[in-house]
């Protein structure tokens, strides 16, 4: 019995998405890696086919689908072996701030474009001197006479170059409490004083644009604030459950792809005696151990997806899943390259890119050490 109930509609969606990826994504993925960028129109293609923001209500241009559609997009994109297109970040991490906290006017203004791919979003939280500790952020937002003036900078912002709309967390200096003195604002590209820095050169995720963002007295209408003033920290905490679940999804799906590829390699590759690698007991045991870890990860993940869809509070469990699945995926990718021997060091080996791309997953969206700290506090240790 499957934990998740995949309907015929889900399976038809998966088939259509898989065909799209094989036609438009896979043939270009290596070029995107080499260029360290993807064409902007790929977002529009994704939107045209209905693969972005699948949870957005029909009245705002979406399909009103459940979270299983999100998991299918994440899974099929993981199988494509590229990270330049990051629909899960856009659709399931950033846009939900608008769908849950936005006014009707904000939803009507931005959501149709987010669904169509005309608007690519980014979330701007991390700062040069304030990573996981959001209360230390220095970017300020001064509200006065119906306008907000934002000043400061953010760094390591995924989709920072492509982004047309940034969800920006900033400190309200007139409120002393660091937890109640933070608000979230919608900042459009092209706003005077809003500048995008150069694309950051990273280890892995080469085709995905990550950049610094600078705000030099950006003046926007007060209507661009999401929700009430001072509620930013609570909003961020409220959306972290889904963000960490998305991280776990990417880790498990990536690890599954790796193990399947490795088993196929070991069955087809022989040693000097023409004996397939899969016939050596040491390799058999290693494959079984990795497959077992991946299976455990998938079962845990599917249960969390089901609980999340039911609206249950699984903050502890998703934090656990984020650190365990990303650590597991890194172990699996690393062990796979070792088993492959010399071929495990060649760029021609797709798992080399997979290992490079997987490495950062234990760092972003809150480091795994932060996840353990959060869990310890929620467990009242």
- Catalytic amino acids? 243
Give the span between the Cα atoms of 74 and 185, in whole angstroms. 27
Could you say which DSSP state residue 270 is in? B
- Asked whether the beta carbons of 259 and 290 are under 8 A apart, the reply is yes
Give the span between the Cα atoms of 48 and 54, in whole angstroms. 12
State the chain's maximal CA–CA distance in angstroms: 80
Neighbours of 344 (CB within 10 A): 18
Residues 6+ apart with CB under 8 A from 367: 132
CA 125 to chain centre: 14
Give the span between the Cα atoms of 325 and 296, in whole angstroms. 9
Give the span between the Cα atoms of 227 and 98, in whole angstroms. 10
Beta bridge mates, 150: 141, 218
CA 167 to chain centre: 15
Q: For residue 72, how many C-alpha atoms fall within 13 Å in the half-sphere facing its CB? A: 26
Torsion of CA 179, 122, 32, 52, to 10 degrees: 120
In which region does residue 61 sit, left (phi positive, over 0), alpha (psi from -120 to 50) or beta (all else)? Answer: left
Give a three-class secondary structure readout of 333-361.
Answer: HHHHHHHHHHHHHCCCCHHHHHHHHHHHH
Token code pair at residue 289:
């151990």
* β-pair type (140-144, 121-124): unpaired
- Asked whether the beta carbons of 165 and 119 are under 8 A apart, the reply is yes
Token code pair at residue 281:
């007991």
Closest CA to 53 of 130, 129, 107, 124: 107
Helix 350-359, helix 315-340: angle, nearest 10 = 150
């Amino acid at each position: 019995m499957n934990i998740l109930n995949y309907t015929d509609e889900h399976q038809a969606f998966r088939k259509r998405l898989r065909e799209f990826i094989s036609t438009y994504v896979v043939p270009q993925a290596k070029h995107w890696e080499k260029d360290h960028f993807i064409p902007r129109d790929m977002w529009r293609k994704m939107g045209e086919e209905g693969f972005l923001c699948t949870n957005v209500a029909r009245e705002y241009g979406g399909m009103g689908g459940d979270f299983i559609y999100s998991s299918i997009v994440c899974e099929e994109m993981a199988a494509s072996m590229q990270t330049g297109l990051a629909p899960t970040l856009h659709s399931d991490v950033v846009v939900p701030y608008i769908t849950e906290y936005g006014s009707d006017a904000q939803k009507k203004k931005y959501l149709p474009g987010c669904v169509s791919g005309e608007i690519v979003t980014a979330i701007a939280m991390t700062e040069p001197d304030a990573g996981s500790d959001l209360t230390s952020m220095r970017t300020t937002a001064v509200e006065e006479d119906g306008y907000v003036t934002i000043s400061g900078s953010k760094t390591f912002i995924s989709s920072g170059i492509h982004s047309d709309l940034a969800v920006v967390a900033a400190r309200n200096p007139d409120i002393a409490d660091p937890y109640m003195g933070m608000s979230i604002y919608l900042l459009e590209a092209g706003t005077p004083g809003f500048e995008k820095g150069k694309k950051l050169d990273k280890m892995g995720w080469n085709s995905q644009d990550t950049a610094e963002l600078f705000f030099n007295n950006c003046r926007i209408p007060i209507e661009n604030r999401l929700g009430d003033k001072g509620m930013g920290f609570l909003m961020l905490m409220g959306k972290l459950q889904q963000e960490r679940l998305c991280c776990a999804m990417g880790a498990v799906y990536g690890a599954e792809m790796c193990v399947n590829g490795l088993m196929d390699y070991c069955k087809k590759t022989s040693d000097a005696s023409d004996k397939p690698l899969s016939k050596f007991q040491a390799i058999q045991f290693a494959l079984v151990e990795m497959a077992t870890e991946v299976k455990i990860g998938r079962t845990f993940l599917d249960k969390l997806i089901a609980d999340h869809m039911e609206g249950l509070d699984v903050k502890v469990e998703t934090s656990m899943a984020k650190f365990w699945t990303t650590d597991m995926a890194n172990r699996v990718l690393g062990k796979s390259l070792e088993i492959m021997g010399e071929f495990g060091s060649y760029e021609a080996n797709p798992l080399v890119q997979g290992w490079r791309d997987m490495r950062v997953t234990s760092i972003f969206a809150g480091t795994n050490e932060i996840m353990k700290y959060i869990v310890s506090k929620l467990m009242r240790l």
